Amino acid sequence: MTTITETTLTRDNILRLFPDVAASAQTERPSAQDAQLFDGYDEEQVRLMEEVCIVLDWNDIPCGSASKKTCHLMSNINNGLLHRAFSVFLFNDENKLLLQQRADEKITFPGMWTNTCCSHPLAIPSEIGYDLPTSIMGVKRAAQRKLDQELGIPSDHVPLDKFHFLTRIHYKAPSDGVWGEHEIDYILFIKSTPTVKPNPNEVKDAKYVTAKELREMFEDKELTFTPWFKLICETYLFDWWGNMDEVTSFRETDIRRML
């Protein structure tokens, strides 16, 4: 396992260590190994693993692209492969947070409760971004896209200018022996009361909760939660949530390392 540091996560090292990472966006061809790797998984979720993620260096600078599959294999993660992600926290007019339970069909972290929407900007011009302002705009566009795809929330119910970027979190977490996450995760808050029509291939359940109700959920031993959501809840969420009228005051440009 490679020790993940600023000196190891450079563009040159990434391109040398990971031949599946392209210096520019391209689609990987499915291999015979993929057939074995994805045996028994849902066909639509397997197709989504072909999406092209943004590969990063230590400082959140894009240095190439690779499939969602490549980015989420623990064999690559343990050698330092890092990609960009986002986590949306949507609150209604009562300041209740919309949670989703990931569908059992999901390849990573199936059946777990998590924040409103968590996914990846794609390595395409409208979402990639090369500095913090353009990267924030890229993840906002990706958030609109995924809120529609996962929860059936129309884009006009979540306008780009209503998303508030708070911070970036660098974390790593296994899902099982094969899959996991290693991300720089952009945290987005938004207040809206949209129509919600969950896609059953993505979302098993969805509900609004108060802060008290969420704490009670964490005490229920029968429920499981995604590692990034637990990490954010255990550190920052409840402080942010308790100061919703001034939430933009928590915005920061530094990356919070939680490795």
Check 28, 150, 181, 183 and give the catalytic one.
183
Check 118, 150, 181, 233 and give the catalytic one.
118
183 is annotated as an active-site residue: yes
40: left (phi over 0), alpha (psi -120 to 50) or beta: left
222 is annotated as an active-site residue: no
Catalytic residue positions, numbered:
118, 183
